[in-house]
Chains A and B, each alone.
Chain A
Amino acid sequence: MTIAVSTSVRRPAGSDMIRRLPELLAIWVPLLLSAAHLIAFTLWTIWISFTPSTLVPVTGWVGLRNYSAVAASRNWQIALDNLLLFGSAFVLLSLATGLILAILLDQRIRGENVLRSIFLYPLAVSFVVTGTVWSWLLNPGLGIQKLVHDLGWTSFRFDWLIDRDMAIWTIVIAAIWQSSGFAMALFLAGLRSVDADLIKAAQIDGAGAIRMYRRVILPTLWPITITVIVIQLQFAISTFDLVRALTNGGPGIATQLPALVVYDLMFQRSLLGRGAAAAVLMLLILLAVLLPYAAWRYVQRRRAIHA
């Protein structure tokens, strides 16, 4: 821990500092910049959220007024409802898709590497790009509905993109396509690391493939599942680009999400105080997911040490 101190020969502290200056700069400047900006920026945004700032940040104190204004706005309420629906549907479905894909790829099939690459490639591409493409495919006048109409089935309807009640599901579809490959990659790693002895023992007991998965293999995936859920939830909470490119929050404000509300308040309506309050609320939602997870990880780690 303190090798640096113990091995350095005693000499006047000043000259030692000068000699070690380049080293100290290299260590501390990037780390301090990174750490300080995180703390300072968080406190800064929190502070602005309590001020009456509109176009420019100003000093002053309005208590929780910005928060109550945000919480009372229809925009924010719809954003929260959407987040709840989008978050749970997206996480559950991408988890299921990822798990199914992982189990299928775990059957020692040919071309596994190619298939894995296909399921993962959306993650390498910008949400702006994928959102744009999905907006074409889901646009009833251009995409899937138009294709089916042109093929002769004219009563076919798939117009969720312009349907107020269904539009949020188009975000779910695109988000699942984008990131269930991630769940698959983690699950696959988990499946591959299942203790071979455990499997052999179950085989000797005459367990079939399905029983084997249900009783032996899948239960070992719990820790990975929780990690995937938390990461996907975190993604859902801060989703911005995808919605911006796919629906831009519309039709109307039907696909509004918290990240869009923050942007709208800050840069389109120039209500910096309220925008900051909305950002802090986003952080609180995120913490509601992350803190239990951190506690769980802590308990797990302690149990692993004491085991």
Chain B
Amino acid sequence: MQRGVMSSGGGRSMRSFAPSRILIYLVVSLIAAAWLAPLAVVVLNSLRTNEEIAQGSMIGWPQHLAWSNYAAAWSGFCVAETCAGIRPYMLNSALVTIPATIFSTLLGAVAGYAVSLWRFRGDSWIYGIVTLGIFLPQQMRLLPWTIVLRDTGLMNTLTGLVVIHTIQGLSFTTLFCRNYYVAIPQELIRAARIDGAGFFRIFWRIILPLSPPILVVTVIWQFTHIWNEFLYGVTFTTGQQQPVTAALIALSAAVADIPQHGVQSAAVMIAALPTLLIYLIGGKYFVRGLTAGAVK
């Protein structure tokens, strides 16, 4: 795989000692199994009937595959008073996550380009303030957002959540793009400006064509974050307007009386699928976002 890169440390591994090698593999495999266990439990339970789970525990092999759990979780199950499964909530999450991801990424690209290459008076100050948003806890913004959403009539709307995630997402997207763009030589921009290219032309012709690597990171990061977000979803929306994370909590409260763990597992699986898929496909970029957000 990436042997070439990884072997940079020279021969410091304990290759020569066979027993210690076996021990290493054993320990790593055990931890890996423990790490996969919760996922395995959900997948297996999503295929077991409620009777089966009730007779044994949540940990077990399905006797016959109950695919009907997925159908019930998707479109038949009751959350609160409505019995439409988690489909409407998945749709809500998609309708919030996709536009908010696109808007925050595009705006972040423009902002990152402006603060790193275009430069203007006060750019480092305003960039500093924007990146503070990464640290400011959600709880400090809950009341102001409540008031803003109420006064603009966006309370309990998906548009409201899109607005919140777009504006708040700028902290991360601007940081990511700015850190990527600072590596582009200023001379390139200067030369283009002497040729008469303006802000937008340079953005379209020079910056965007160089951007795909960072835009992939930013999109994956934003999508994952917004899809997984819970606090704003549960605070600013109710009932049919809720994103899937909030609906899952409502669902687990609803099934507390009559356990329906098979269906609930299927619902959990469906809700986790979009970000799991993105992680499987673009894991490398996900990790890059993770480390970029951490060290820069």
The residues of A with any CB-CB pair to B shorter than 8 Å are 1-4, 7, 20, 22-23, 26-27, 30-35, 37-42, 44-45, 48, 57, 101, 104-109, 112-113, 115, 117-130, 132-137, 139, 142-144, 146-147, 150, 177, 181-182, 185-186, 189, 191-192, 194, 196, 199-200, 203, 209, 212, 217, 227-228, 231, 234, 237-238, 240-241, 244-245, 259, 262-263, 266-267, 272, 275-276, 278-280, 282-283, 286, 290
**Residue pair A125, B228 in contact (C-beta under 8 Å):** yes
Set of chain B residues within 8 Å of A1, measured between Cβ atoms: 119
**Residue pair A34, B57 in contact (C-beta under 8 Å):** no
**Residue pair A57, B57 in contact (C-beta under 8 Å):** no
Contact of B13 among A57, A113, A133, A209 (CB under 8 A): A209
**Residue pair A45, B144 in contact (C-beta under 8 Å):** yes
A-B contact pairs, 7 of them (CB 8 A): A30-B174, A57-B143, A104-B27, A126-B271, A132-B248, A142-B53, A186-B294
Number of interface residues of B (CB under 8 A): 102
Set of chain B residues within 8 Å of A2, measured between Cβ atoms: 119, 121
**Residue pair A192, B8 in contact (C-beta under 8 Å):** yes
**Residue pair A119, B291 in contact (C-beta under 8 Å):** no
**Residue pair B291, A186 in contact (C-beta under 8 Å):** yes
Set of chain A residues within 8 Å of B143, measured between Cβ atoms: 44-45, 48, 57, 266, 272, 275-276, 279
**Residue pair B137, A238 in contact (C-beta under 8 Å):** yes
The A-B contact count (CB < 8 A) is 294
> A23 CA to B231 CA in the complex, in Å?
35
> A123 CA to B289 CA in the complex, in Å?
12
Interface residue? B210 (CB, 8 A): no
Which residues 131-170 of B sit at the A interface, judged by CB distance below 8 A? 132-133, 135-145, 147, 167-168, 170
Interface residue? B72 (CB, 8 A): no
**Majority-rule SS of B interface residues:** helix
Q: State whether A203 and B200 are in contact (beta carbons under 8 Å apart), knowing that A30-B111, A35-B129 are contacts in the complex.
A: no
Set of chain B residues within 8 Å of A263, measured between Cβ atoms: 139, 142, 231, 235
**Residue pair B198, A150 in contact (C-beta under 8 Å):** no
Q: Identify the stretch in B29-37, B62-70, B76-84 within 8 Å (CB) of chain A at 4 or more residues.
A: B29-37
Contact of B193 among A7, A33, A129 (CB under 8 A): A7
Q: State whether A112 and B1 are in contact (beta carbons under 8 Å apart), knowing that A40-B144, A45-B141, A283-B136 are contacts in the complex.
A: yes
Q: State whether A185 and B291 are in contact (beta carbons under 8 Å apart), knowing that A105-B28, A240-B231 are contacts in the complex.
A: yes
Which residues 202-232 of B sit at the A interface, judged by CB distance below 8 A? 224, 227-228, 230-231
Set of chain A residues within 8 Å of B39, measured between Cβ atoms: 121, 133
CB A168 to nearest CB in B, in angstroms, measures 19
Set of chain B residues within 8 Å of A283, measured between Cβ atoms: 136-137, 140
**Residue pair A227, B110 in contact (C-beta under 8 Å):** no
Between B6, B14, B35, B271, the greatest number of chain A beta carbons within 10 A of the residue's beta carbon is seen for B35
Q: State whether A199 and B268 are in contact (beta carbons under 8 Å apart), knowing that A115-B32, A124-B224, A279-B142 are contacts in the complex.
A: no
Set of chain A residues within 8 Å of B136, measured between Cβ atoms: 38, 41-42, 283
